[in-house]
Structure 1
């Protein structure tokens, strides 16, 4: 019940964000047509995409890629600092340096594990909800750094020490929810 309840709360929260974008776009269409056209008007590159879809490309693809590279650079620095030579992916010892390296590596590896799902859901969900999906992307980047920083302390329990750490899940569920909503809209259910 715990996991189901947590996921349900996250879905409900992110549905709220998507509904807010939908109504915000409708409001701006009447109140500020120029601003509405800037965000949700057709792209000059692909008319079926809103202009704000560019935010999804910049934040969720380019920004997330740079975040993963930055986390990888931290692994490289920890590799030197902790004396873990390539090609070993993880240290085999149980001493403090080995544990610390493994924690830094795990922070990077966990980001790599969720990146493909984030990218796929963002590319689909951003078609209809570009502002929300880009915001979820920014949240994912911020949360990833916080989560990895806590993990890198050498104590895996500290990965959620920052208030931002848990938002790795909020951001993922947000992009999944947007993707699911687009799928349901295409099917004519929504």
Structure 2
């Protein structure tokens, strides 16, 4: 049985939300580069050593930026997949949740790299986490509808 997918008229909103994640990645890159420079951690070192981070708050914040960026990269593919799939059936809701995910991930980055350190990421993690779970549930339901031929 062939399935014909009709992209909803408002699917452009889904694509706009997906595109926002590329800019969040760019925010991560700039923030990490700024903190790398401030901490004088040379390339190719991915992180400051434990000793460097204990002595220099900039080195510690650089490590936080690196970890926030790695966490973003770990989560972006599944969030994008869920956004693009759920947007086939729920385009406006998916777009809003996708944009919410991007805002949450940006708050996560700036909270994590603030003077609060890892504790500063909690608010952004909560926002992004709720949006992410919602997108995944909507994607599962959309997939079910496609498999069931509904």
Q: For this structure pair, what is the TM-score category when the shorter chain's length is used for normalisation?
A: 0.7 to 0.9
Structure 1 residue 166: Cα displacement? 0.9
Residues 146-178 of structure 1 deviation map (CA, whole Å, 9 limit, x = unaligned)? 111111025212211x4x441110111121011
CA–CA separation in structure 1 for the residues paired with 2:73 and 2:137: 20
Structure 1 residues 12-51: aligned runs within 5 Å: 48-51=6-9
Preserved contact between residue 94 and residue 135 of structure 2 (Cα < 8 Å): yes
When the two structures are superposed, what TM-score results if normalisation uses the length of structure 1? 0.69
Correspondences of 1:144-159 after superposition (within 5 Å): 144-154=105-115, 155-159=117-121
Partner of 2:48: 91
Q: CA deviation at 1:106?
A: 1.5
Q: Report the count of equivalent residues.
A: 142
Q: Which runs of 4+ in 1 moved over 6 A?
A: none
Q: TM-score, normalised by structure 2?
A: 0.86
RMSD: 1.9
Structure 2 alignment gaps of length 5 or more: none
Alignment gaps of 5+ in structure 1:
1-45
